[in-house]
Structure 1
Amino acid sequence: MVKDLGSDELIGQKVAHALAEGLGVIACIGEKLGEREADILEKVVFEQSKVILACEPVWATGTGKTATPQQAQEVHKKLRGWLKSNASDAVAQSTGIIYGGSVTRATCKELARQPHMGGFLMSDVSLKPKFVDIINAKQ
């Protein structure tokens, strides 16, 4: 289950309906802290990843805990490897994987330097003037 949006099945139905209606879908996926600590990251994330565009560790959202750039990179690299194994190298290389785990002015530059980081999924910080620093993180 993804935060408060319903069961995996309900979210799957919502995604299928949106795709059937011609809408684009950003599916934000991520593991809970207990799942990370239990070393079942791949099982949890890959079960959620029918549409892969954004990855957000649930355990780092609104909890005061922040994933390190290396942890974010680890997930993105494994997702790209999964795409290569289960789709094709072309799909793996062309699919943008973005990160949504509490990106700030202080963390954005190091996150942006990670090789598999395709960008960031932003929330309310995108409404604040300091957001421009995050936009320019790759420069």
Structure 2
Amino acid sequence: HFSVSSPRPYAPNMIEVGGIQVEKPKALPEDLQKYLDEAEHGVIYFCMGSNLKSKFFPEEKRNAFLKVFSTLKERVLWKFEDETLRNQPGNVKIQAWMPQNDILAHPKVKLFITHGGLLGTSESL
């Protein structure tokens, strides 16, 4: 879609309809709603989509993320496919699946760290 990419020539009868999959946000599960609502300094949402799995990051990369996250005053929601992550700081919540569209619509979400896929990009707008 032209709002997230470079202009391209198209035939006159072609119309881009980017973001058609984005729905109105739904209510969050109670635990996520509470986690977001109580985030005094906001929330960072970290999700690498469905193709790039965080659980396959090399251990040194995972530990680097955790070390940096532990220094932040913001809370961090990390879509992490293995809920037994070791050395998890108190300000980091991991889950194997999260309702991304609904999380991104929450006013306390201040930053979205993503791999830059089309769906996440359009949902974040």
TM-score (norm 1): 0.26
Which structure's residues are more often strand, by fraction? 2
Q: Which has the higher contact order (CA 8 A, sep 6+)?
A: 2
Structure of larger gyration radius? 2
TM-score (norm 2): 0.28
